[in-house]
Amino acid sequence: MENQLLAHAQKAIVELYNQELDLQQIPLQQTRKDQQGDFTLIVFSFTRFSKKSPQETATELGNKLLEFEPHIEKFNVVNGFLNLELHNRYFISILTDALATPQYGRAKMNENDVVVLEYSSPNTNKPLHLGHIRNNLLGWSVAELLKASGKNVKKVNLINDRGIHICKSMLAWEKWSHGATPESTQKKGDKFVGDYYVMFDKYYKEEIKALMDAGMEEGEAKKNAPLILEAQEMLRKWELGDERTRQLWSTMNQWVYAGFNTTYSQMGVDFDKVYYESETYLLGKELVEEGLKDKVLFVKENGSVWCDLTQDGMDEKLLLRADGTSVYMTQDLGTAQLRQLDFHPTEMIYVVGNEQNYHFDVLKIVLQKMGKEWANNIHHLSYGMVELPHGKMKSREGTVVDADDLMQDMLETAIETTKALGKIDDFSSDEANVLYRTVSLGALKYFILKVDPKKQMMFNPVESIDFNGNTGPFIQYTHARIQSVLRKARENGFDKGTYSPNLLLDGREKELLKHIANYPAVIVQAAKNYSPSMVANFIFEMVKDYNKFYQDLSILKESDQEKRSFRLDLSAQVAQIIKSGMGILGIHVPERM
């Protein structure tokens, strides 16, 4: 309807004032809730060619629009604001059309519009933590959002399974494990390996301090501490294919993968393909060799390979160390090339925190310099960091908030809160356990995803599990409430009624119908902005309006059969959109609570 009204306004301005405007120059918006109307045309800018007052200009345009658009019932003018009121039959048609449309709001997939979306990308030297939770939930949800807008999305994960950080865990295990394994210690594999990464850092710092106490400068001490030299030698052996080093590396990584998979399953995220840095860095090295032949890259005196980006407003970027070992950029070059060969995507999205903005600017420019035209399709979905009330997290010091521990804490809080509110009084033990997990994950995901990705956020677990306010449980409870109404309607034989397309509507019903009408556009806009928060906050606003409608108007007790039938259909469609929108966020909505 908004596009129709814009087109009509454009035509009216030509007929009345002989002035042609682009649609973008015509300010049309939904009418404020404190005014009477459905759409408002702001006419102040038109007075320069109407040569009339805002009131007169708005009145002229209102009369013209009445001629052009049969859905407009009447209009009113407040200063330079033309408020248009639409017929009830238009609003009822919104509902009937939505009810008749399977997967309402979602576009049909275009198989050829392939988007490769990378998220998670963990290192195999530590378990997933709170920062990874935001990354995983955001990546999975953006993928679902793009699917809903018609994209053919391939969710991929790049596991950083090689490099100096991996060697630190391996070296620490060799020195201090005494042959311990996850099985012998009854510890989850990723946590087990992560403990050795923390252990390395502890002893490394002790060595640095000892060297500094002996008179060495801090920078030199960090470079010459025996542990870091041993770790560097282990990395060199790994790249040379040393059998013993490779075997230890493979064993420890398998421990970590098993741990990761458990966490992913708990979190409800998955991937279409998993890449490993150990398999992609060699292709990156080949690209570097090509770049040297094409004189895009250059070699320094010590044998290291660089790309000069000074003319692009950056500095020189290292691509291969002097000893021939690769850096993160090397493997990212190879991975990007491999994904291009695998999927030929129209877009390649990287969901990575904003501390890596420079890295992805460089990746794109280096690939462009290498003649890869598809590099223009790379997009870095940069997001803000997650903080806790007590400050930032540090992996090396073991002060991170573990993802598994956080999800368990959320579950315990959900159990306590749900029991206290008496929402499981008639549930079996199995049903209650399912509900606890549904509420806890819904609270976590919604709290994370309702924040715009670009913003840094503070996570408060207690705030997230609240059955009131802008939270997952509040929305879940509303969905369960609607399902309860619909069940009772079926039990009483109220679910098969009809109503006239000219049924008189209450303002609260109209507000819900506007939400229903807007849902497809919200998905399109949210997908363009890679922002699940737009869907989250749309659902919250709709749920708030539904609860107002539920409190103020009768549904099952309504004596007028037509009104009752309409309100039941309206409730059913609201529930469908809640389920659809929350599904994009990865959140299950229960049938009862």
pTM of the complete model? 0.89
Residue 497: pLDDT band with limits 50, 70, 90: confident
pLDDT digits (tens, 9 = 90+) for 62-72: 999 999 999 99
Write b or e for each residue in 475-492: b if 16 or more Cβ atoms lie within 10 A of its Cβ, otherwise e. Answer: bbbbbbbbbebbeebeee
- Which two tokens mark 546? 């539904």
pLDDT digits (tens, 9 = 90+) for 535-573: 999 999 999 999 999 999 999 999 999 999 999 999 999
- Give the residue ranges of DSSP H helices in 149-188: 164-176, 182-185
Q: Write down the pLDDT at residue 168.
A: 96
Q: Does residue 461 surpass a pLDDT of 80?
A: no
Structural domain boundaries in the chain: 2-86, 119-387, 404-584
Q: Of 7, 285, 13, give the one whose Cα is nearest residue 162.
A: 285
Q: Write down the pLDDT at residue 517.
A: 95
pLDDT digits (tens, 9 = 90+) for 37-82: 999 999 999 999 999 999 999 999 999 999 999 999 999 999 889 9
Please name the residues in contact with 527: beta carbons below 8 A apart, sequence gap of 6 or more: 145, 146, 148, 149, 151
Please give the helix or strand (H or E) that residue 326 lies within, else none. none
Among the residue ranges 209-218, 364-373, 387-396, 522-531, the one predicted with the least confidence is 387-396
pLDDT digits (tens, 9 = 90+) for 152-171: 999 999 999 988 889 999 99
**Helix 88-99 and helix 561-584, axial crossing angle in degrees, nearest 10:** 50
Please name the residues in contact with 137: beta carbons below 8 A apart, sequence gap of 6 or more: 267, 269, 444, 445, 448, 449, 586
The pLDDT mean for the chain works out to 92
pLDDT digits (tens, 9 = 90+) for 315-336: 999 999 888 878 889 989 999 9
Domain 2-86 has CATH 2.40.10.10: no
**Contact of 586 with 445, CB cutoff 8 Å:** yes
CATH H-level superfamily of 119-387: HUPs (3.40.50.620)
Share of the chain above pLDDT 90, in %: 81
CATH number assigned to the domain with residue range 404-584, chosen from the 4 options 1.20.120.80, 1.10.730.10, 1.20.1050.140, 1.10.3720.10: 1.10.730.10
4-29: average pLDDT: 93
**Contact of 58 with 542, CB cutoff 8 Å:** no
pLDDT digits (tens, 9 = 90+) for 369-409: 999 999 999 999 999 988 776 644 444 444 567 889 889 98
Q: Does residue 357 surpass a pLDDT of 60?
A: yes
- Taking the C-alpha atoms of residue 287 and residue 366, their distance in angstroms, rounded to an integer, is 10
Measuring CA to CA, how many Å separate 207 from each of 9, 199, 204, 428, 560?
75, 13, 5, 58, 82
- What number of other Cβ atoms are within 10 A of residue 379's Cβ? 16
